[in-house]
């Protein structure tokens, strides 16, 4: 609909990309802008930090800037695109490893940087997109990851899935860590209430006969250790990758 002009009107998807990849170009003419795109994105990031992704509303962001809600739409086509921009800005924080280091060092650094990012910006894990936005700094990160693996000698056909594996691992651990930190703090549930109802669960509903292994693992403290072992598991992952590299070299 509304797409039959001879002059190819910019698609939604194109405006989205343009915003991410082009400077806003102030264009001289017309009224001066009170705000910058950067300021809007900053405000969004500020709001999301204290209200979570669900609490990120255009009205709140606008209020945070002392501006009417609709004003934001001068800078950003909509909420979705604002989130994209926020993700891109967050990924810009990554201090990506250069490939000159030995690949295991670089890969470990890559993983740590990403984990730090997700712990600083847990809301990224809440963005329900199927994949991250096609944004410059996101691609920078992927480029860096690929470069490490290619430099290590992994064939191109495996490089993509392996970096995906590492990304996936890091996100999983970060998600678990965040979950543990803010257990009941969401949804207005006080921590006391949360743990009360948890113990209610264990005493009332949990059936040690239905879940014998869980029970045994719990008693052995298997659920406590948790995430001190990020590096240990990561090393195991890298072992697997090293194996693939060696296999490819032969």
Partner DNA sequence: ACCATTCCGGTACAACGTACGAGAGGTGGG
Partner DNA sequence: CCCACCTCTCGTACGTTGTACCGGAATGGT
Near a second copy in 211-250, by CB under 8 A: 211-214, 216-217, 220-223, 225-227, 229, 233, 236-237, 239-241, 243-244
Specify the residue, 16 or 60, whose C-beta has the smaller distance to a second copy: 16
CA distance 168 to 158: 15
Residue 228, CA atoms < 13 Å, CB-side half-sphere = 4
* C-alpha radius of gyration, the chain, whole number: 23
Interacting stretch for a second copy, rule CB under 8 A, among 10-18, 27-35, 40-48, 109-117? 10-18
CA distance 148 to 98: 8
Specify the residue, 74 or 190, whose C-beta has the smaller distance to DNA: 74
| 219: exposed, middle or buried (Cβ count in 10 Å: 0-12, 13-18, 19+) | exposed
Interacting stretch for a second copy, rule CB under 8 A, among 31-39, 42-50, 66-74, 201-209? 201-209
CA distance 6 to 2: 12
Q: Would you give the binding string for a second copy spanning residues 52-91, x where CB under 8 A is met?
A: -xx-------------------------x-----------
Specify the residue, 33 or 151, whose C-beta has the smaller distance to a second copy: 151
| 231 binds, options DNA, a second copy, none, Cβ within 5 to 8 A by partner type | none
Contact at 8 Å (CB) between 49 and 57?
A: no
Contact at 8 Å (CB) between 166 and 237?
A: yes
Specify the residue, 66 or 222, whose C-beta has the smaller distance to a second copy: 222
119 makes contact with a second copy (CB under 8 A):
no
Contact residue for a second copy among 66, 69, 164, 249 (CB under 8 A): 164
Provide, rounded to whole angstroms, the least separation between the CB of residue 47 and DNA. 9
Residues in the chain: 250
For residues 101, 106, 109 and 110, what is the CA-based torsion angle, rounded to 10 degrees? 140
Question: Residue 156 CB: number of other CB atoms within 10 A?
Answer: 9
For the four alpha carbons of 226, 227, 230 and 232, in that order, the dihedral sign comes to negative
- Name which of residues 44 to 73 contact DNA (CB under 7 A): 55-60, 67-71, 73
Provide, rounded to whole angstroms, the least separation between the CB of residue 92 and a second copy. 14
172 makes contact with DNA (CB under 7 A):
no
Specify the residue, 61 or 96, whose C-beta has the smaller distance to DNA: 61
28 makes contact with DNA (CB under 7 A):
yes
CA distance 172 to 164: 12
Contact at 8 Å (CB) between 118 and 124?
A: yes
188 makes contact with DNA (CB under 7 A):
no
| 25 binds, options DNA, a second copy, none, Cβ within 5 to 8 A by partner type | none
43 makes contact with DNA (CB under 7 A):
no
């Amino acid at each position: 609909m509304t797409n039959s002009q001879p002059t190819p009107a910019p698609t939604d998807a194109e405006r989205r990309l343009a915003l991410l990849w082009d400077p806003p170009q102030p264009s001289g003419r017309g009224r001066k802008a009170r705000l910058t795109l950067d300021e809007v994105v900053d405000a969004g990031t500020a709001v999301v930090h204290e209200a979570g992704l669900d609490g990120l509303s255009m009205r709140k962001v606008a209020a945070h800037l002392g501006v009417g809600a609709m004003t934001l739409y001068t800078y950003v086509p909509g909420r979705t695109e604002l989130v994209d921009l926020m993700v891109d800005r967050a990924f810009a924080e990554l201090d990506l490893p250069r490939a000159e280091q030995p690949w295991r060092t670089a890969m470990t650094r890559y993983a740590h940087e990403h984990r730090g990012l997700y712990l600083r910006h847990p809301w990224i894990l809440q963005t329900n997109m199927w994949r991250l936005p096609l944004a410059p700094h996101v691609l920078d990160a992927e480029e860096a990851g690929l470069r490490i693996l290619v430099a290590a000698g992994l064939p191109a056909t495996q490089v993509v899935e392996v970096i995906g594996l590492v990304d996936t691992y890091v996100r999983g651990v970060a998600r678990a860590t965040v979950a543990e930190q803010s257990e009941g703090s969401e949804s207005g549930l006080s921590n006391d209430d949360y743990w009360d109802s948890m113990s209610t669960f264990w005493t009332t509903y949990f059936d040690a006969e239905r879940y014998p292994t869980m029970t045994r693992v719990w008693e052995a403290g298997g659920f406590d250790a948790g995430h001190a072992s990020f590096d240990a598991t990561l090393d195991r992952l890298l072992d697997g990758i090293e194996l693939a590299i060696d296999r490819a070299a032969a």
